[in-house]
Amino acid sequence: MTPPYAKKVPRKLEMHGHARLDDYYWLRERENPEVIAYLEAENEYTGRVMAHTEAFQESLFEEIKARIKQDDSSVPYKLKDFYYYARFEEGRQYPIHCRKRGALDAPESVMLDLNELAMGHDFYALSGRAISYKQDILAYAEDTRGRRIYGIRFKDLETGEILEDVIPEVTGHMVWANDNKTLFYSKQDLVTLRSYQIYRHTLGTGPDADVLVYEEPDETFTCHVGKSRSRKFIIIASSQTLSNEYRFLNADEPAGEFMLFAPRVRNHEYILDHYGDYFYVRSNDRAQNFRLMRTPETDTAQGNWEEVIPHREEVLLRSFELFKEHLVLEERKDGLVRIRILPWDGSAEHYLNFGEPTYLAYVGHNPEADSRILRYGYTSLTTPNTIYDYDMGTREKTLMKRDEVLGGFESADYTTERLDATARDGTRVPISIVYRNDRPKGVSGPLLLYAYGSYGNSTNATFSSPRLSLLDRGFAFAIAHVRGGQELGRRWYDEGKLLNKKNTFADFVDCADYLVSRGYTSPEHLFATGGSAGGLLMGVIVNMRPELFCGVVTRVPFVDVVTTMLDDDIPLTTSEYDEWGNPNDKEYYDYILSYSPYDNVASKAYPNLLVTTGLHDSQVQYWEPAKWVAKLRANKTGSNRLLLKTNIEAGHGGASGRYNAYKETALDYAFMLDLAGIKE
């Protein structure tokens, strides 16, 4: 089978006296019929190469779908007079958002049936929903293209009427004031998609009458709007990688002026909330792993802040939740999340107890601050997502729901371990791993290694029912908790970004070498996967150590780093200089160029590669993976597979709908299983 080769149209790109020749720059022309024809040709080639697995893909898809309880529902949460929840009906792709007044056995009222809203659209996504103060009007934001550009609509929940108000081309972030008729929302630049304006909309008026209440002038910042825990204040947050700034307004006076809470300072990150008479602030001022402060709502100057929770070298303060009688903290220590309960009256504090070596615990949705019931979630590589209600006074917990996995799943059939690899600089890097108890021992066993490692996003050891299709066929699945996340505190993030970014890549390779040396797998049976910034990681490691991996699957990979970071018209670029560095500075240009996957493609034998993207991706533009594959195809040696699959309808998150995304998963799995010699 002859693969498609993109034509070469050399374009000279110069910076800092250095010239690069980009043969495939022209693939950025989204409206060019030749570009679409090339992407379609790559899709057809992928289809031909994988044609012998089509029945297997369908079987995997049906197997994955069969594990899902189709008529499922979420655990209801109470907000004032109503219980809110979402449910699925058998055979339907999208959730139905519902509520009941007063009691769980009351008649159901359907707020939004997304199956009806999605009719006639190849893609449909709901960004958010906002219930008005009196709970009679629902604002919701929908996207029908996958570009994360939403339109806000309104529904009268008492009459069922869709109101005439429509607010087009917004982010989907919104919040109601307490007058029940004023909605604040954020709007983005439609080229860069930077959220930079906050508007005020009055129900019953057109968008032309909306009032701009704040505009963020710094192109490295974005801004959004929300509401305090107390529901007393509307809060505008301006944020960038290394700094935050907040403004607040009494929610009873929506036409008033926003007040500055504390001015932005370089390298000062803080998060704000309010309850009682105080603002509470999670701050990294003189606290690398953050500490918790508070200040009277009447005087927010930083000189008035008092410490509630001090900084700790070994513990990252991830977040906090304010209740009338308790303070709840999410902390991360030794890579694991802990939930800490502190009564305001000074009585004994305590931690919730979890019994597995690697897991994720998290504070759930708790809209009522007056409650002493904490809703939290728990999951691990062997435990499906589980929701508990925990009485913080009596310390009794109630199981509310554990996701049901159909098809005979038993948690006891699987083993999870926490391992530690030693990186080349002596740093210990955690690895979480899971496999079936009856998996054959030795290096012949296939293993899939995953990592992300950017933006301080920690990769948690969570359950995946689709993953069972790999585990039950003899695969092990491992997560390399590489630097660039925050698994081991803020230091872990700082050591994996900017001029330390190569630590992320080295950690992943060293984790792979460790798993091979310990006999969990071999290079002939080792697979790797990652998406977006994790796709950058995949692009780098196949340049570094192509012989270490049999196959790599990467979704929407960020692989053309230099060109993208030099183009401030592309979404997210300017706001990410503090993550990757600004290549307009020669030091960063040289450093990024030294690892950028696209710029470092060479004539060598690469592992088998499956690369997927979305034509309407607003975060990693489709042309990055398309250009990368075109350059790889022109330069790689050997006969290993190189496949590009472009979803013509979808964006960064892939296909919409409950089941459609699993068709993409089935392709990924069939690609790896086929290479591992597993045909059914």
**Annotation marks residue 97 as catalytic:** no
| Set 22, 143, 507, 617: catalytic member | 617
Q: What is the CA radius of gyration of the chain?
A: 25
Q: Which residue has the tokens 């600004």?
A: 582
Helix H, strand E, coil C: the string for 481-537 is: CCECECCCCHHHHHCCCHHHCHHHHHHHHHHHHHHHHCCCCCHHHEEEEEECHHHHH
Closest to 602 in 3D by CA, of 632, 557, 643, 580: 632
Contact assessment for residue 388 and residue 365, using Cβ atoms and an 8 Å cutoff: no
Amino acid found at 560: D
CA–CA–CA angle 513, 487, 343 (5° rounding) = 155
The DSSP secondary structure of 648-668, one letter per residue, reads SS-BTTBS-STTHHHHHHHHH
Helix (H, G, I), strand (E, B) or coil at 248: strand
Q: Which of 469, 481, 652, 674 is catalytic?
A: 652
> In this structure, are strands 96-101 and 82-87 parallel, antiparallel, or unpaired?
antiparallel
Distance CA 276, CA 294 (A): 11
Task: Name the token pair of 310.
Answer: 């001090």
652 is catalytic: yes
- Which DSSP state fits 73? B
Q: Is 465 a catalytic residue?
A: no
Ordered strands of the 96-101 beta sheet: 77-79, 82-87, 96-101, 108-113
Q: Give the Cα separation of 652 and 647 in Å (integer).
A: 10
Q: Where are the alpha helices (DSSP H) in 22-136?
A: 33-49, 54-66, 114-117
Q: Of 195, 532, 596, 656, which residue is the catalytic one?
A: 532
- Point out the residues that are catalytic: 532, 617, 652
